[in-house]
Structure 1
Amino acid sequence: MAVLAAAALLDELMGRNRNVLPNEKVKELNWEDSEYCKYFLVKFCPHDLFVNTKADLGTCPKVHDEEVRKLFEKAKGHRKVQYQEEFIRFCSNMVNEVERRIQKGRQRLALNSKQEITPSNPAQIQRNQEQINILNERINGLEKEAEQAGNDGNVEQAQGLMKLCDQLKEERDILKKQNENGHWSATAELAAAQEKQMEVCEVCGAFLIVGDAQQRIDDHLMGKQHVGYARLKTAIEEVTTAIQSSRDERRSLRDDKKDRDNIKEVDKIRKKEVDRTHKEYRDRSDYRSERVSIDRRDKDKNREKRDKDERRERDRERDKQRDRERDRRHRDRERETVFVAARSSRHSHHRR
């Protein structure tokens, strides 16, 4: 203890790296190291709440470091939530334990309040005796029923009947005790009156005197146990709220990411649709261009064929015209030959 306290004091005055050599590499702080107290990082260490009290947990074996806590507070992620949940589980166990103690204290006060009514006359004693006889009959009957249920193998029913028997026996014992103590002394009545005025603290489970002096009430409210359990309950609520906020934030981030992914997917689908439309348009344009080109080639071919046919027809007409011209000239030469021959024949006849 003393050595650890001295080391903590030196770390606070000279720093945690006081023993590091000049050439030695300084270890970086990491809040996930096992040497650090998880509860101290989240909120506080429960071991520090109940020092020198009945609920003292002893000295915490882990290191408490403010710088590491600052790193933890800045951190985010599932690991941090695990630390917070572990803190809640530890504190909840302690709170549940004090709640059980509070419940037992209430039952004790309730039992004492039942015992405070003591018969002070024979008539009351007689009525109590009659009630005791009735309880004896009921107890005997229930014991027989429980034994029969146990023989039949119905364990749960038998246990329930025996529990009811125990309650009736407890009530019978109270009545017997009242009859045995028919007349209490004044001291006993005073003690009973004081016991009647007790109450249980709803925070730490301690017994308090109703109407006690304000100074004693203030001392109790400022005591380590009362303040410690109050801090535990408050811390559980705060850390639970922090965990829920963290989960809501992560859920919101996941929803935003999902929305962004959906938007990206929609944009991708839309882009594919646009690309498909453009492709179809290009295909149609290419098809139209190809059709136009084919039509143009067909027209050119048809025009070339038509021009060729026209040239052929013109050549044919020209050949016909040439043939007719040749025939005409041939006929003219024949007529001229016949005419010359006829004229020569007339001249020769005339000379004779």
Structure 2
Amino acid sequence: MDAIRKQLDVLMGANRNGDVREVSHKYYDRDVCRLFLAGLCPHDLFQLTKMDMGPCPKIHSLQLRKEYEEAKVKGDHNFHRELEDMIERLIVECERKIQRALKRLEDEDATAAVAISVSKVTQTPEVMELSKQIKEKLKEADVFDFEGKTDSKIRVLELVEDLKGQRADKQSVLLLDAFNKDRASLPLPNQNPSQPASLPVVDPPDRHTQEMIYEKLKKAEDLGERGLIDEAQKALEEAETLKKLGARQEPILESSKYSVADVRITDQKLRVCDICGAFLSVYDNDRRLADHFGGKLHLGYMLIREKLAELQVLV
């Protein structure tokens, strides 16, 4: 019910039933969310994910946000420092997760920690332009919300989702290209690292096997986001086993029967997203990478990192 109520709040406003008496509140009241007034409430970041904080117990009101922004210009109040502190705490927690993952990977593969910066590879002018358009459309949606134009707001939010999808697709292609170059430079198992690496030509797995591989990769990402690194690596190794079996066109049975020992962890060539901390593999396909870039956790961490940069410029 909380999730449904939150979705209705996004579409129609928290006061859709007339039960939030905004007129009786001031922006500086204790039961008004100061972080929302400053631009970003953490309760809105990771809805319906494993990091979901639940609905915010305080009032979110665009009217009160407008009043706050007018007061801030006059120098009466400034809640941006509180927002900056909150974002820094979230980023510190994420960075610790990233460092733990990198340390574990470094023990297995010393090159994994420095191979690719996801944020640098995927920040092209075209991607940045899409991000700019998304921000502008979200502001437009807030204006329609403030004016009570629900239909217009819904149309704009649908456009925002389309733009996010376009951005995720472009980022996935950019990272896939970087991964292909990364993979081509890697020595094959039992190959002398001093010899040039050559990629074998194999037939792709059948459709059923590809679906099983995708499920294993998705499971690995979910486990990685929860900090369960051993379990995530196990799922990735099982996915690689399926890839190898599929490439040989062998019959595919129950995927859980294959031993983790069939594939070395170093064969996975894992990389860690330096934005959200999720595990990625140089063997991921464009579908999986697009799902990663369009996922709520990645988008949430990208949003707070961008917001922190904005706040630091204002200081």
TM range (shorter): 0.3 to 0.5
More helix by share: 1
Structure with greater contact order relative to length (CA < 8 Å, sep ≥ 6): 2
Please tell me whether Structure 1 or Structure 2 has the larger radius of gyration of its CA atoms. Answer: 1
TM-score normalised by the chain length of structure 2: 0.46
